[in-house]
């Protein structure tokens, strides 16, 4: 599986420089677009995470920006420029509940006890990068499976996604992408 985007630095519209109308409680909530290509033919479901390992020295843990599970491949559109690449469109996180109700979004680090936010528009949706100290590298990891992952519900924690992928009994296709978020 190959994961790609039209950028290596996350555009400001999806990150720290997002216009106020694209923020909730000061958090950028419009997710960036990306593509998934070269999947195994038996992949029918996608799952992903967007995390910031460079947050560890800042807050003591890897920051979870987005977690998604059980997105059916047949509900996604192919990129018009590349008929083989599935396109995850901009603002997918906010449109996902109405577009694909069976898909799941997990909690972000804003939901954790150390931050304690409660607004579902922030704690269970994409959170754009807002690195406080320097440019950070963000990792987007995508997994593909033939079946939906069992045992997850809306608002799952990222470790539950890891366990579901680890315990999945079929083959798992995986790809990733590293992108930079600017201070």
Compute the radius of gyration of the chain from its Cα atoms.
Answer: 15
- Concatenated DSSP letters for 58-118? HHSSPEEEEEEEEEEGGGSEEPTT-TTSEEE-TTHHHHHHHH-TT-EE---GGGSTTT---
The CATH code of the domain that includes 115 is: 3.90.280.10
Question: Which uninterrupted H or E stretch holds 146?
Answer: none
Range of the domain at 168: 2-181
Task: Assign 80 a pLDDT band (cuts: 50, 70, 90).
Answer: low
Task: Give the pLDDT confidence score for residue 85 in this predicted structure.
Answer: 87
Query: From the centroid of its chain, how far is CA 5?
Result: 13
Cα–Cα nearest to 65, from 3, 115, 2: 115
Confidence (pLDDT) at 98? 95
Tally of structural domains, the chain: 1
Q: Mean of the pLDDT values across residues 76-85? A: 75
- Please name the residue that has the structure tokens 């608002």: 155
Q: For the segment 130-180, what is each residue's pLDDT rounded down to a tens digit?
A: 999 999 999 999 999 999 999 999 999 999 999 999 999 999 999 999 999
Question: Model pTM?
Answer: 0.96
pLDDT at residue 82, as a whole number: 64
- Residue 114 — very low, low, confident or very high, per pLDDT cuts 50/70/90? confident
**Across 17-27, average pLDDT:** 97
């Amino acid at each position: 599986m190959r994961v790609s985007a039209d950028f290596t630095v996350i555009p400001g519209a999806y990150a720290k420089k997002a216009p106020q109308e694209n923020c909730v409680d000061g958090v950028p909530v419009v997710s960036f677009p990306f593509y998934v290509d070269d999947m195994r033919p038996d992949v029918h479901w996608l799952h992903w995470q967007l995390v910031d390992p460079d947050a560890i020295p800042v807050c003591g843990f890897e920051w979870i920006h987005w977690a998604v599970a059980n997105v059916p491949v047949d509900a996604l559109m192919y990129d018009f420029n590349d008929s083989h690449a599935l396109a995850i469109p901009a603002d997918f996180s906010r449109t996902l509940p109405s577009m694909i109700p069976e898909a799941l979004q997990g909690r972000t680090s804003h939901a954790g006890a150390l931050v304690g936010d409660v607004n579902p528009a922030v704690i269970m949706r994409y959170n754009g990068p807002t690195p406080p100290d320097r440019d950070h590298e963000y990792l987007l990891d995508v997994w593909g499976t033939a079946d939906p992952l069992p045992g997850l519900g809306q608002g799952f924690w990222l470790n539950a996604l890891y366990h579901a992928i680890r315990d999945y009994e079929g083959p798992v296709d995986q790809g990733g992408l590293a992108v930079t978020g600017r201070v």
